[in-house]
Amino acid sequence: MRVVEVKRATKETKIVIRINPDGKGDVSVESGVPFFDHMLTSMAKHGGFDFTCAAQGDLHIDCHHTIEDIGIVLGDAIKQVIGEGRGIQRFSHAIIPMDESLAQVALDCGGRGYLVFTGSFGSRTVGTIPADIFEHFFYSFCTRAGITAHITFSGRNDHHKCEAAFKAFGIALGQALAITGDKKVVRSTKGKF
């Protein structure tokens, strides 16, 4: 099993994340930001991995540091799961509808962190969260994990657009991290990531 636990404590946040990409979708998320808990739960549940996130942050200021730092810690955990990349699928994609909304995610877990985030929200907030923090979360996550991600979404309802994007990301991530044969093989023409 590839079970990873990462802890991070700063003056702004204290976060513990535990992930098992070979799990069954057992999820427990407590960030203090209910809508974000819902998004992370959807991502992990549909990705099929076991995921625990316990976070305490300076929510009396706002949710920015908490959400950003969860992205950092989650990225660090996924980087450990990927390791040298031996045996993983590496590339994956998912297209997920949610009512009128559609999200598409394509991933490369090949060691180079990059994010292309295409889509917009109609309101300044989604739930109680500033809408721009979602792109920042995925940026923090992907750059720390060494994942190239293209996230595209459209629709009318902001909740649906956001949730479809998190579900699509989770499904694509679960597939990209899956062991698909020889555990010694690195899917790279270079022989390493």
| Cα 8 from Cα 4, distance rounded (Å) | 13
User: How much is the pLDDT for 125?
Assistant: 96
**Residue for token pair 């994956």:** 92
**Residue for token pair 């427990």:** 28
Q: Which of 10, 11, 4 is nearest to 52 (CA)?
A: 4
User: How much is the pLDDT for 98?
Assistant: 98
Are 29 and 51 in contact by the 8 Å Cβ rule? The answer is yes
What is the pLDDT of the chain when averaged over all its residues? Answer: 95
User: How much is the pLDDT for 189?
Assistant: 62
| Cα 31 from Cα 99, distance rounded (Å) | 27
User: How much is the pLDDT for 147?
Assistant: 98
pLDDT tens per residue across span 77-133 = 999 999 988 889 999 999 999 999 999 999 999 999 999 999 999 999 998 999 999
pLDDT tens per residue across span 41-60 = 999 999 999 999 999 999 99
Express as a percent the part of the chain with pLDDT over 70.
96
| Cα 149 from Cα 66, distance rounded (Å) | 22
* pTM, two decimal places: 0.95
What three-state secondary structure class fits 136? helix
Could you give all domains of the chain from N- to C-terminal order, each with its CATH number? 4-177 (3.30.230.40)
User: How much is the pLDDT for 29?
Assistant: 98
User: How much is the pLDDT for 193?
Assistant: 64
